[in-house]
Amino acid sequence: MVDLSKKFDVLVIGGGNAALCAAISARRAGASVLVLEGAPKFYRGGNTRHTRNMRCAHDTATGILTGPYTEEEFWDDLLRLTGGQTDEELAKFMIAESKDILNWIVEQGVRWQPSLGGTLSLGRTNSFFLGGGRAMLNALYLTAEKLGVEIVYDAEVTDLQIEDGMFLSAKLKHPITGAAEIRASALVAAAGGFEANIEWLKEYWGEAADNFLIRGTPYNRGSILKMLLAKGVQDIGDPTQCHAVAIDARAPKFDGGIITRHDSVVFGIVVNKHAQRFYDEGEDIWPKRYAIWGRLVAAQPDQIAYIIFDASVRNSFMPTLFPPIEGATIAELAGKLELDPAALETTISEFNAAVQPGTFDHTILDDCTTEGITPPKTHWARRIETAPYLAYPVRPGITFTYLGTRVNKQSRMVMKDGKPSANMFAAGEIMAGNVLGKGYAAGIGMTIGSVFGRVAGREAARNAKN
Ligand SMILES: Cc1cc2nc3c(=O)[nH]c(=O)nc-3n(C[C@H](O)[C@H](O)[C@H](O)COP(=O)(O)OP(=O)(O)OC[C@H]3O[C@@H](n4cnc5c(N)ncnc54)[C@H](O)[C@@H]3O)c2cc1C
């Protein structure tokens, strides 16, 4: 039983990658550390449980990475994908620090495995966790426990006492021990974004947010972020920006994870509930386009869409948890999807008539295109004509939000007046907006958590000791 009446050097709020990296780093720097994880033990680890890989800079191939990925290339990628909406100094700092993380995380017990072949073309840039995010977390928890980090589960923090930018204490709500006041010399906030808070999402997306599915933990409700912003911490990032992909409409409301994502868009067409196409399905290669489809579907009536393809391509992409819905004819398929059969038949016959001859190759921007329809399908356009006809219903799947707390290179929160907080630090999703103004590159969420978690823990320990 953890003695919650004593004053800790460092309090870490959250139980995912950023929190654990911070806790381990603070403890290794000699601090007494308490981790408060809002979720029950079985669900510990937030969105980190669902992860597979992390993007780090490296100058040469490693045992598991097939070639170099320099700091310059990482920076070029980040600049392009955010359209310049990133804090250059902080982003370059993160990229430089990421080099060391590849080994540091192994020293904390995490193991790597070679990239899964043929999926996302990440074998050179991203290191995959052996056993996935849960195994990664188990290793970090084990290390933290061995080092003497104290951990409480089911430990939702419901209030923070902050005066003039200085953290004093946190209010804890626990189902068995009840309420408690937790005192610490320094705070690390690593409590994720607000993606699981539908009411908060509605402030920016309106009623449409009721139809969003949340790919990760229901515990990331943004309560700590909201408290910090209300108590004088400067915000960063556009509240409407988030990482959102198209996931199967039959997925659960929360925690569906990676297995619900559809990667079949380029092999067919996508229609809305009026059986109309609305975007070029072949605009660019899939790893560069998958993350726009969540927003595209969110903009459609009732936030629902259908990927339509035929039997000739059904084994061409990674399957998901859900089987496609089948029809022997297009009209039968439309009936099962509750779409107007005549409208779907017209859309498909117009599309088929617009398809030009070409040589199909989904790994390059091939010459299979349409002519005379709007929107066009600029690559990989092939006629949909081989029964049975197939479909996946999709909805926006929200991964995480970008609104966060502004931090400096010490991971120290910056207050609204521009001054650094006396003793408050942040790491992970809760401050991702400093680096990610918009856009996303696979594996960068874990880079943000590991780099800034490690820095935040070290700096919080130093702060507490002085
Ligand atoms: C399906 C899916 C797949 C993904 N795959 C990848 C991937 O392969 N690579 C990658 O880089 N990123 C991936 N991401 C993104 C990645 O999960 C996040 O960027 C990363 O895990 C964030 O880590 P974190 O520690 O900041 O937050 P989290 O891991 O989400 O942890 C937040 C923690 O805060 C706790 N918490 C929240 N509120 C409170 C409170 N009031 N009191 C106490 N505790 C609280 C939660 O319980 C949780 O433990 C994926 C996300 C999803 C949903």
Range 392-413 average pLDDT: 97
Q: 48 CA distance to ligand 1 centroid (A)?
A: 4
Instruction: Please give the helix or strand (H or E) that residue 112 lies within, else none.
Output: strand 112-113
261 DSSP assignment: B
Q: 137 CA distance to ligand 1 centroid (A)?
A: 11
pLDDT at 120: 59
pLDDT at 118: 52
Q: What is the pLDDT of residues 415-443, one digit of tens each?
A: 999 999 999 999 999 999 999 998 888 89
Tell me the two tokens of residue 329: 């004819």
Which atom number of ligand 1 is nearest to the Cα of residue 20?
25
Q: How far is CA 447 from CA 13, 358, 367, 424, 451, in A?
A: 19, 41, 37, 21, 6
Which residue type, as a one-letter code, is found at position 337? L
Q: Are 267 and 315 in contact (CB under 8 A)?
A: no
pLDDT at 372: 97
pLDDT at 241: 85
Range 263-292 average pLDDT: 93
Q: 389 CA distance to ligand 1 centroid (A)?
A: 37
Q: 18 CA distance to ligand 1 centroid (A)?
A: 8
Burial 213-226 (b: 16+ CB within 10 A, else e): bbbbbbbbbbbbbe
User: Atom 13 (ligand 1): residue with closest C-alpha?
Assistant: 51
Which residue type, as a one-letter code, is found at position 377? K
- Among the residue ranges 134-138, 334-338, 358-362, the one predicted with the least confidence is 358-362
Which residues form the pocket of ligand 1, taking CB atoms under 6 Å from any ligand atom? Answer: 13-19, 36-39, 45-48, 50-54, 155-157, 190-192, 215-217, 219-220, 223-224, 257-258, 399-400, 428-429, 443-446, 449
pLDDT at 265 over 90: yes
Which atom number of ligand 1 is nearest to the Cα of residue 444?
11
Chain centre to alpha carbon of residue 159: 26
Other CB atoms within 10 Å distance of the CB of residue 166: 14
Range 326-340 average pLDDT: 98
pLDDT at 457 over 70: yes
Higher-pLDDT residue of 369, 287: 369
Q: 453 CA distance to ligand 1 centroid (A)?
A: 12
Q: 216 CA distance to ligand 1 centroid (A)?
A: 7
Cα dihedral angle (58, 20, 106, 64), rounded to 10 degrees? -50
CA gap 450, 417 in Å, rounded? 28
Which atom number of ligand 1 is nearest to the Cα of residue 214?
53
pLDDT at 203: 95
Q: 45 CA distance to ligand 1 centroid (A)?
A: 7
Q: Which residues contact residue 86 at a Cβ distance below 8 angstroms, ignoring those fewer than 6 apart?
A: 78, 79, 434, 435, 436, 437
Range 217-246 average pLDDT: 95
pLDDT at 129 over 90: yes
Which atom number of ligand 1 is nearest to the Cα of residue 453?
25
User: Atom 7 (ligand 1): residue with closest C-alpha?
Assistant: 51
Task: Express as a percent the part of the chain with pLDDT over 70.
Answer: 99
Q: 46 CA distance to ligand 1 centroid (A)?
A: 4
CA gap 20, 188 in Å, rounded? 11
User: Atom 27 (ligand 1): residue with closest C-alpha?
Assistant: 192
- Total residues found in the chain within this entry: 466
Q: 299 CA distance to ligand 1 centroid (A)?
A: 26
Cα dihedral angle (378, 384, 388, 389), rounded to 10 degrees? 60
Tell me the two tokens of residue 397: 């799947």
Q: Which residue has the tokens 């880079």?
A: 447
Alpha helices in 231-329 (DSSP H): 286-289, 293-298
Chain centre to alpha carbon of residue 262: 16
pLDDT at 119: 47
pLDDT at 455: 98
Range 263-283 average pLDDT: 97
pLDDT at 104 over 50: yes
User: Atom 19 (ligand 1): residue with closest C-alpha?
Assistant: 445
Q: 88 φ, ψ to 5°?
A: -55, -45
pLDDT at 290: 86
The pTM assigned to this predicted structure is: 0.95
Extended strands (E) in 256-415? 269-272, 305-310, 325-327, 389-401, 404-405, 412-414
pLDDT at 363 over 90: no
pLDDT at 211: 97
pLDDT at 117: 61
From 156, 173, 197, 219, the mutation candidate for ligand 1 (largest count of ligand atoms within 8 A of CB) is 219
pLDDT at 136: 98
CA gap 295, 259 in Å, rounded? 19
Q: Are 429 and 408 in contact (CB under 8 A)?
A: no
Confidence at 228, pLDDT banded by 50, 70, 90: very high
